[in-house]
Every structure is written in C-alpha cells, then in structure tokens.
Amino acid sequence: MGKGGHGGGDLVMLTEIFGKAPADKYLRMADERAGAWSCLVGVAANQCFETGQTVKIADLIKGLTPPDRPAMPSRTGPLKVKMT
C-alpha cells in the first residue's frame, strides 16, 4: 500500500512510464510485444470458436518475438519458497 491515487499505484506507473524506475526483476511490466501477443490470443480464440479447430499464435503472424518472461518453475521439481 502506498500513498496517493489507486493505493500508490499511480505514482509507480507514472515513474515507470516517464521517470527512472528501477529494473523489474520479475519482468512484470508489459511491452509492445506483450500487448501484441495478448491481442493475438483473442484473435486465435475467435478463430477457434468459429472453426472448432486449434489455432496456434505462431501460425497467425511471423517474426513477432515473444515478450520477455521470468523463468517458470519445473512442473515436477521442488518449488523454492522464501519465507520472510
């Protein structure tokens, strides 16, 4: 919880857009690639509903680099949890 509009979120957002925000080590901030991929998910879903077929985003567009994402844990390995 921070101070200001939207529980302090307004200042954080404005600093990320116009200021000098610290690097996001969790890669939570979306860029234009993440926005494009989000739109393509909707396009693929609509095509799937219309055709009843699986639609792969990679088949919709060529050359779009996927957005940066943090490493995900293994489905079978132990999950590291930091208790504070």
pLDDT digits (tens, 9 = 90+) for 1-26: 678 877 877 888 888 889 888 887 77
What the block records as the tokens of 22 is 């610290």
User: Could you tell me which of 50, 48, 43 has the C-alpha nearest to residue 64?
Assistant: 43
Rounded CA-CA distance 37/66 in Å is 7
Task: Indicate yes or no: pTM above 0.85.
Answer: no
Domain ranges within the chain, ordered by starting residue = 1-28, 31-62
| Each residue's pLDDT tens digit, 38-69 | 999 999 999 999 999 999 988 999 888 888 88
